[in-house]
């Protein structure tokens, strides 16, 4: 059995473990939250090194990406240096393949045709594959990086602008404390609605769930949410907000979904390669074997 453990800066309330059969193998999938404790987060990478098949970074990113340029969060990269032999992933391999494919499937499979619709992606540099696919979908897109990442009232409306601004700002942002840009620990549970106009204008709201949950207004009647992973409590929140449907990009396992870093860990462990040696085409080939489809959950008919 292959073992994947995601070490998260998020709350331990979301911890879970499951065994699943995929790709002709048995995988043990586990999430361990550290409640925002950076020291404990780093210690776990050292303690688990060599004992599991792949380690995931949860509640944080190692890299943000614009086109083919990757920028590492200095603080996060330093914390995972204890993993000397076990590969470490942050979900990026799936964000640029599975999530791009999920956006395309919304239209090609008639789940939510995007041409002529309005879409909000809460952070394009965190979900670069989604951002690229949205740009090509025919939807009118707001990229929320300034609104929700930095807190400035500047809606970016073109993918070209995302690329230009990303190349200017990401070298600076990734050298600053991570917690300035992303909630950790209990802060992930707090909601501070911000810039509601852009949520209410959009037909489709997509991207990182913690960003969506934290900044969305109390009511989102008739909207569709596309994100990576949702707990039962998250679905209840969206249902109470009047959301029409939620779509997750990763499969449901034992009633819940695991984050993209866990599912990338499955593919890396299956291929038995270092993540840097795995091409986008190899990810897509394994995804074809897995035949994962966007998981549509109707909340309010």
Q: Is 126 left (phi over 0), alpha (psi -120 to 50) or beta?
A: alpha
Digit-coded pLDDT (tens) for 172-202: 889 988 887 777 767 777 899 999 999 999 9
What is the spatial distance between Cα 157 and Cα 166, in angstroms, rounded to a whole number? 14
pLDDT band at 83 (very low <50, low <70, confident <90, very high): very high
Q: Work out the mean pLDDT of the chain and round it to a whole number.
A: 91
> What is each CA distance from 130 to 3, 10, 282, 297, in whole angstroms?
28, 23, 19, 20
* Residue 51, CA atoms < 13 Å, CB-side half-sphere: 8
What is the spatial distance between Cα 288 and Cα 216, in angstroms, rounded to a whole number? 33
The β-bridge relationship of strands 63-66 and 69-72 is antiparallel
Whether the Cβ atoms of residue 89 and residue 261 lie closer than 8 Å to each other:
yes
pLDDT band at 296 (very low <50, low <70, confident <90, very high): very high
Handedness of CA 68, 74, 79, 85 (dihedral sign): positive
pLDDT given at position 131: 93
Beta bridge partners of 89: 56
- Inform me whether the pLDDT recorded for 241 exceeds 80: yes
pLDDT given at position 150: 85
Q: Which 3 state secondary structure label does DSSP give 110?
A: coil
Which letter does DSSP use for residue 87 in this model? -
pLDDT band at 26 (very low <50, low <70, confident <90, very high): very high
What is the spatial distance between Cα 289 and Cα 27, in angstroms, rounded to a whole number? 16
**Which tokens sit at 79?**
């914390």
Whether the Cβ atoms of residue 238 and residue 246 lie closer than 8 Å to each other:
yes
- Inform me whether the pLDDT recorded for 166 exceeds 90: no
- Inform me whether the pLDDT recorded for 74 exceeds 80: yes
Whether the Cβ atoms of residue 247 and residue 297 lie closer than 8 Å to each other:
yes
CB-based burial label for 78 (10 Å; 0-12, 13-18, 19+) = exposed
Digit-coded pLDDT (tens) for 86-119: 999 999 888 888 899 999 999 999 999 999 999 9
What is the spatial distance between Cα 220 and Cα 251, in angstroms, rounded to a whole number? 25
User: What phi, psi does 258 have (nearest 5°)?
Assistant: -95, 155
- Smallest CA-to-CA distance from 106 within 125, 133, 140, 141 is with 133
Q: Which 3 state secondary structure label does DSSP give 73?
A: coil
**Which tokens sit at 101?**
């494919």
- Smallest CA-to-CA distance from 247 within 211, 299, 200, 287 is with 299
User: What phi, psi does 19 have (nearest 5°)?
Assistant: -110, 140
pTM of the model: 0.86
What is the spatial distance between Cα 248 and Cα 294, in angstroms, rounded to a whole number? 6
Maximum pairwise Cα distance, the chain: 50
């Amino acid at each position: 059995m292959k073992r994947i453990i995601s070490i998260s800066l998020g709350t331990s309330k979301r911890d879970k473990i499951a065994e699943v059969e995929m790709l002709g193998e048995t995988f043990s999938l586990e999430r361990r939250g550290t409640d925002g404790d950076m020291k404990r987060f780093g210690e776990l990478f050292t303690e688990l090194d060599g004992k599991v098949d792949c380690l995931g970074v949860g509640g944080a990113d190692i890299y943000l990406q614009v086109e083919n340029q990757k920028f590492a969060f200095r603080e996060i990269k330093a914390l995972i240096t204890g993993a000397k032999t076990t590969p470490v992933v942050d979900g990026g391999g799936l964000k640029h393949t599975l999530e791009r494919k999920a956006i395309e499937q919304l239209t090609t499979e008639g789940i939510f045709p995007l041409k002529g619709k309005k879409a909000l992606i809460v952070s394009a540099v965190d979900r670069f594959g989604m951002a690229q696919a949205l740009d090509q979908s025919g939807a009118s897109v707001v990229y929320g990086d300034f609104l929700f990442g930095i807190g400035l009232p500047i809606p970016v409306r073109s993918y070209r602008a995302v690329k230009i601004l990303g190349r200017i700002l990401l070298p600076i942002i990734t050298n600053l404390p991570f917690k300035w840009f992303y909630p950790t620990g209990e802060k992930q549970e707090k909601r501070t609605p911000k810039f509601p106009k852009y949520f209410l204008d959009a037909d489709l709201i997509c991207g990182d769930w913690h960003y969506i949950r934290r900044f969305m207004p109390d009511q989102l009647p008739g909207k569709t949410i596309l994100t990576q992973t949702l707990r039962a409590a998250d679905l209840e929140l969206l249902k109470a907000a009047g959301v029409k449907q939620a779509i997750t990009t990763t499969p449901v396992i034992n009633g819940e979904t695991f984050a993209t870093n866990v599912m990338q860990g499955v593919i890396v462990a299956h291929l038995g390669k270092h993540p840097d040696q795995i091409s986008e085409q190899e990810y897509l080939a394994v995804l074809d074997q897995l035949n994962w489809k966007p998981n549509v959950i109707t909340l309010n008919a």
